């Protein structure tokens, strides 16, 4: 904890002064372009991976980068998504999974989560991903972790479409969905390609495709 506290002191003395103008603007409000939904895993740093500054990403994190389907029961993710899209007016939503995801390991073997009942219930939102991979690959083991990680991103994007604010944004062309998987060991970011229905490394074509004109990323498969 000592290094965390000393980090605050360093931020106040060395970092904040260099960005004082930016923080003065942010003190009056925010206008992020991107809602970034990712895992709570301590190894993931959205601002570091995307090289963005404070105020550019509206970040939602939880175990497994889960988006519960819309329902009449209010939850933290539902409220955050509604606020980001309907109030802040974000134009892009990224669902970003990652390699070696403990939540996906739990989703593959939920019977081992009996001592963590709330985690087990939360990961029931990933069941469609595990069942798709089981059906496609004929079995489901930890050897299929990467496939489940990809499929889970796709399934959470499907859940996003059930939220009224997102559905409205997609219908009007104001909102674009993106599915990413971040490789912790290599730094690579895989992006879902709607034309080939596969996850591929982020490249100039992807950046050009989504640079100016919104275009919804469709669902598909990454099982190999």
Q: Is the pLDDT of residue 220 over 80?
A: no
Residue 191 in marked binding region: no
For residue 127, pLDDT beyond 50: yes
Mind listing the pLDDT tens digit for each residue in 22-56? 999 999 999 999 999 999 999 999 999 999 999 99
Does the annotation list 41 as a binding residue?
Answer: yes
The region that residue 141 occupies, defined by phi over 0 for left and psi between -120 and 50 for alpha, beta otherwise, is beta
> Is residue 7 predicted with pLDDT exceeding 60?
yes
- Domain range summary for the chain, segments of one domain joined by +: 1-30, 32-209
Query: Do the annotations mark residue 98 as ligand-binding?
Result: yes
**pLDDT greater at residue 164 or residue 197:** 164
In the numeric block, which tokens belong to residue 197?
A: 């229905």
Distance CA(173)–CA(169), nearest Å, equals 6
Tell me the C-alpha distance between 136 and 116, whole Å: 29
Backbone angles phi, psi at 192, to 5 degrees: -75, 130
Binding site annotation covers 92?
no
31-54-183-188 Cα dihedral, nearest 10 degrees: 80
Q: Kindly report, residue by residue over 51-99, the tens digit of the pLDDT.
A: 999 999 999 999 999 999 999 888 999 999 999 999 999 999 999 999 9
Which residues share a beta bridge with 192?
199
CATH of 32-209, one of 3.50.50.60, 3.90.1150.10, 1.10.1060.10, 3.40.1050.10: 3.40.1050.10
């Amino acid at each position: 904890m000592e290094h965390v506290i000393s980090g605050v002191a360093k931020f106040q003395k060395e970092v904040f002064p260099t960005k004082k103008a930016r923080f003065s603007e942010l003190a009056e409000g925010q206008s992020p372009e991107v809602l970034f939904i990712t895992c709570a895993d301590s190894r993931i740093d959205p601002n570091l991976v995307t090289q963005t500054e404070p105020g550019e990403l509206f970040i939602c994190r939880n175990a497994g980068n889960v988006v519960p389907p819309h329902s009449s029961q209010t939850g933290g993710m539902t409220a955050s998504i509604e606020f980001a899209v309907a109030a802040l007016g974000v134009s892009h939503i990224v669902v970003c999974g990652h390699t070696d995801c403990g939540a996906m390991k739990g989703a593959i073997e939920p019977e081992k989560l009996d001592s963590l009942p709330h985690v087990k219930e939360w990961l029931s939102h990933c069941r469609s991903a595990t069942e798709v991979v089981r059906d496609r690959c004929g079995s489901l083991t930890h050897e299929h972790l990467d496939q489940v990680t990809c499929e889970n991103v796709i399934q959470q994007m499907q859940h996003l479409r059930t939220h009224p604010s997102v559905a409205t944004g997609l219908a009007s062309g104001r909102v674009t969905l993106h599915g990413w998987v971040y490789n912790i060991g290599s730094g690579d970011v895989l992006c879902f390609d709607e034309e080939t229905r596969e996850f591929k490394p982020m490249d100039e074509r992807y950046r050009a495709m989504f640079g100016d004109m919104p275009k919804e990323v469709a669902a598909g498969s990454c099982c190999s």
